[in-house]
């Protein structure tokens, strides 16, 4: 997905939010906003938004001197999600359609997103999403591909959401490789977060090699590209990965909650919808 | 009121909204956002936000070539407000406290503000504000000053809101001078809009001489400054005038609804509160 003009003010909002989390020093936040303002004119509109996000959060780290501003928040979200895990497992085991319920749960975890300007209440939002209708539900194709697959590449999104991903991975019943960001970026899931979420018990964990808050293939390492090309099935969580991969030339299943009007429009759905979408590709 | 770091992303939002109203040409809107982004680093944080607004909307006019993007919207709001006028007059005449009801009505009209990112429904919002508690209500001082005053300077804010101002001006029972912006800026009230709102029947109308979306004394003309200094009482409507005059060295009564978190904080109230505040000055 390319960058839209609506993304430009949003980059400034993101910088302000991230700056505030990293530091209380208003002068540093001002320096950050000055930097992001100045770079607006140089943002290639054909680039995906997470590529610009990558630069913004690099500057957050450089200007504030804080390498991982979301470290404690991520720990808290993983703890909160792990406390819910037994209940989530019970919901799956009591449901009529275990796989679809686990997919819903994985999408519900996608509310834990600090890159967007939305507050969330994990327990309330999960309960709501468990009853919410899908705006796009390519479940037949998903099941068909899952039945055939001998290897699944699962692209993680946020820390905490990773625990919800574990619930879905346990229902897939196939060997799964779980992909994390290479370094801390916003509250995105890293190797350490994935281990803390218990994903080491159910999947191989690899890094995509990128520090961008989304999967942008030309920023990923060779090992990830190799796995992305050869995996029988690819499952992609969240907006950042969707933005990076929406035009990619292979079948990818996108699982996400739309939390931004531009992405919702791009998917032809409404904001706050839930989506299981098979990518359009030739 | 100075500029806060939260204002910086908001300037980009304003530019996008105004650009969209002025043109459908995305390249021009992009040029506008590039310009505003680049000027972020040069914004003096000690300036009031409407000073920067002045520059942004000047660039909207220059880049899009549209001198008055809000012309039709203003006409519509004045028409909508004039249709409500008989009902508003009836509400005043049936009320136990005519003056306070007219003040409430004048504040209710302040929802017609296209400089902020808030949707409004005029009829519903007016009904709500008529029942809403004030967060600040310096009514005793207001009445005391009104009783003594032989001249009142009334600083208008938005077109359409101007009709609501007429209702209050008719209750003041004193000679009123109504102040408008010198040229069209956002949906702020100009001379032409004030006449269309029927204000010529109840007040003398003068221009502040400024194109800024707020009253910033050093941008105003001499005639306005003279009247601002000599008027027995000054009533100021809306956020833009508050931002410009909050630190001024005379008594001013601010009537507004808070539609921005930063202004609400500055007033020690909440967003969406209604306020009748006498200025703090020495």
Distance from CA of B250 to the nearest CA of A (A): 31
Q: Which residue of A has its CA nearest to B5?
A: A30
- Which CATH number characterizes residue A79's domain? 3.40.50.10880
- In sequence order, the 6+-apart residues with CB closer than 8 A to the CB of A38 are B37, B38, B40, B41
Q: Which residue of B has its CA nearest to A6?
A: B16
**Strand pairing class (A274-278; A253-257):** antiparallel
Shared-domain flag, residues B47 and B117: no
CA dihedral sign of residues A187, A189, A191, A196: positive
User: Of A209, A54, A170, A182, which Cα lies nearest the Cα of A192?
Assistant: A182
Distance (Å, rounded) from C-alpha A131 to C-alpha B278? Answer: 51
Neighbours of A71 (CB within 10 A): 16
Pairwise CB contact (< 8 Å): A13 & B9 = yes
Residue A252 included in any domain: yes
Q: Which residue of A has its CA nearest to B42?
A: A34
Q: Let me know how long chain B is.
A: 282
User: Of A188, A142, A186, which Cα lies nearest the Cα of A162?
Assistant: A188
Distance (Å, rounded) from C-alpha A250 to C-alpha A44? Answer: 24
Q: What is the pLDDT along chain B (282 residues), one digit of tens a residue?
A: 999 999 999 999 999 999 999 999 999 999 999 999 999 999 999 999 999 999 999 999 999 999 999 999 999 999 999 999 999 999 999 999 999 999 999 999 999 988 787 788 888 889 999 999 999 999 999 999 999 999 999 999 999 999 999 999 999 999 999 999 999 999 999 999 999 999 999 999 999 999 899 999 999 999 999 999 999 999 999 999 999 999 999 999 999 999 999 999 999 999 999 999 999 986
Residues of A in contact with B43 (CB under 8 A): none
Whether A46 and chain B come into contact, CB under 8 Å, resolves to no
Distance (Å, rounded) from C-alpha A276 to C-alpha B97? Answer: 58
Q: What is the mean pLDDT of residues A138-163?
A: 97
Residue B168 included in any domain: yes
B279: number of CA atoms within 13 Å, CB side?
22
Distance (Å, rounded) from C-alpha A147 to C-alpha A248? Answer: 23
Shared-domain flag, residues A184 and A53: no
Pairwise CB contact (< 8 Å): B41 & A26 = no
Residue A271, Cβ density class (10 Å: 0-12 exposed, 13-18 middle, ≥19 buried): middle
Quote the tokens at residue A255.
Answer: 């699982």
Residue matched to tokens 């680049």: B38
In this predicted structure, what is the pLDDT of residue A173?
96
Last residue of some domain: A16, A45, A64?
A64
Distance from CA of B5 to the nearest CA of A (A): 6
Residue B222 included in any domain: yes
Pairwise CB contact (< 8 Å): B12 & A9 = yes
Shared-domain flag, residues B169 and B242: yes
Angle between helices B122-131 and B98-108 (to 10 degrees): 140
By Cβ distance, the residue of A5, A12, A41 closest to B8 is: A12
In this predicted structure, what is the pLDDT of residue A118?
77
Instruction: Please say if the pLDDT value at position A115 is more than 90.
Output: no
Task: State the first-to-last Cα distance of chain B, in angstroms, to the nearest integer.
Answer: 16
Residue B127 included in any domain: yes
Whether residue B166 contacts residue B176, with contact meaning beta carbons closer than 8 Å, is answered with no
- DSSP letter string, B212-244: SSS--GGGS-HHHHHHHHH-SEEEEEHHHHHHH
Residue A1 included in any domain: no
Whether A8 and chain B come into contact, CB under 8 Å, resolves to yes
- Residue A214's SS3 state is coil
Residue A109 included in any domain: yes
Quote the tokens at residue B42.
Answer: 């040069």
By Cβ distance, the residue of A33, A34, A40 closest to B34 is: A40
Distance from CA of A41 to the nearest CA of B (A): 5
Shared-domain flag, residues A36 and A16: yes
User: How many domains does chain A fold into?
Assistant: 2
- Residue B153's SS3 state is strand
Instruction: Please say if the pLDDT value at position A116 is more than 90.
Output: no
Whether residue B277 contacts residue B138, with contact meaning beta carbons closer than 8 Å, is answered with yes
Angle, CA of B47, A17 and A2, to the nearest 5°: 105
Shared-domain flag, residues B98 and B56: no
Beta bridge partners of A205: A178
Shared-domain flag, residues A84 and A38: no
In this predicted structure, what is the pLDDT of residue A120?
85
- Residue B274's SS3 state is strand
Distance from CA of B9 to the nearest CA of A (A): 5
In this predicted structure, what is the pLDDT of residue A113?
84
Pairwise CB contact (< 8 Å): B9 & A15 = yes
User: Of B193, B211, B214, which Cα lies nearest the Cα of B67?
Assistant: B211
Shared-domain flag, residues B98 and B129: yes
In this predicted structure, what is the pLDDT of residue A58?
94
Shared-domain flag, residues A90 and A222: yes
Pairwise CB contact (< 8 Å): A40 & B26 = no
Residue B1 included in any domain: no
In this predicted structure, what is the pLDDT of residue A185?
93
Shared-domain flag, residues A31 and A149: no
Whether residue B261 contacts residue B273, with contact meaning beta carbons closer than 8 Å, is answered with no
Which residue segment(s) compose the domain that B264 sits in? 76-278
Whether residue B216 contacts residue B48, with contact meaning beta carbons closer than 8 Å, is answered with yes
Shared-domain flag, residues B119 and B212: yes
Whether B18 and chain A come into contact, CB under 8 Å, resolves to no
User: Of A268, A243, A239, which Cα lies nearest the Cα of A46?
Assistant: A243
Shared-domain flag, residues A85 and A200: yes
In this predicted structure, what is the pLDDT of residue B182?
94
Whether B144 and chain A come into contact, CB under 8 Å, resolves to no
Whether B13 and chain A come into contact, CB under 8 Å, resolves to yes
Q: What is the mean pLDDT of residues A154-159?
A: 97
Instruction: Please say if the pLDDT value at position A251 is more than 80.
Output: yes
Angle, CA of B13, B244 and B111, to the nearest 5°: 55
In this predicted structure, what is the pLDDT of residue B120?
85
Beta bridge partners of B253: B235, B278
Shared-domain flag, residues B93 and B57: no
Whether A25 and chain B come into contact, CB under 8 Å, resolves to no
Whether residue B238 contacts residue B252, with contact meaning beta carbons closer than 8 Å, is answered with no
Residue matched to tokens 């590529």: A51
Residue A145 included in any domain: yes
Last residue of some domain: A64, A94, A112?
A64
Q: What is the mean pLDDT of residues A71-96?
A: 96
């Amino acid at each position: 997905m390319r960058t839209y003009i609506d993304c430009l003010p949003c980059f400034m909002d993101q910088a302000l939010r991230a700056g505030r989390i990293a530091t209380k020093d208003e002068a540093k936040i001002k320096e950050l906003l000055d930097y992001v303002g100045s770079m607006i004119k140089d943002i290639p509109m054909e680039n995906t938004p997470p590529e610009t996000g990558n630069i913004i959060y690099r500057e957050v780290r450089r200007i504030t001197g804080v390498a991982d501003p979301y470290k404690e928040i991520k720990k808290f979200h993983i703890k909160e999600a792990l406390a819910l895990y037994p209940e989530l497992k019970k919901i799956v085991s009591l449901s009529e359609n275990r796989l679809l319920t686990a997919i819903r749960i994985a999408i519900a975890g996608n509310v834990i997103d600090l890159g967007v300007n939305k507050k969330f209440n994990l327990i309330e939002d999960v309960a709501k999403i468990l009853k919410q209708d899908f705006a796009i539900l390519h479940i037949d194709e998903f099941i068909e591909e899952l039945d055939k697959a001998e290897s699944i590449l699962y692209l993680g999104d946020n820390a905490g959401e990773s625990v919800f991903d574990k619930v879905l991975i346990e229902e897939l019943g196939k060997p799964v490789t779980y992909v994390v960001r290479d370094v801390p970026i916003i509250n995105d899931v890293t190797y350490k977060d994935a281990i803390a979420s218990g994903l080491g018990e159910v999947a191989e964990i690899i890094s995509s090699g990128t520090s961008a808050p989304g999967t942008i293939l030309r920023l990923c390492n060779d090992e990830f590209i190799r796995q992305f090309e050869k995996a029988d099935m690819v499952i992609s969580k969240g907006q950042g990965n969707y933005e990076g991969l929406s035009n990619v030339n292979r079948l990818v299943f996108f699982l996400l909650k739309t939390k931004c009007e531009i992405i919702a429009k791009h998917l032809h759905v409404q904001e706050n919808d839930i989506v299981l979408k098979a990518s359009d590709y030739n």
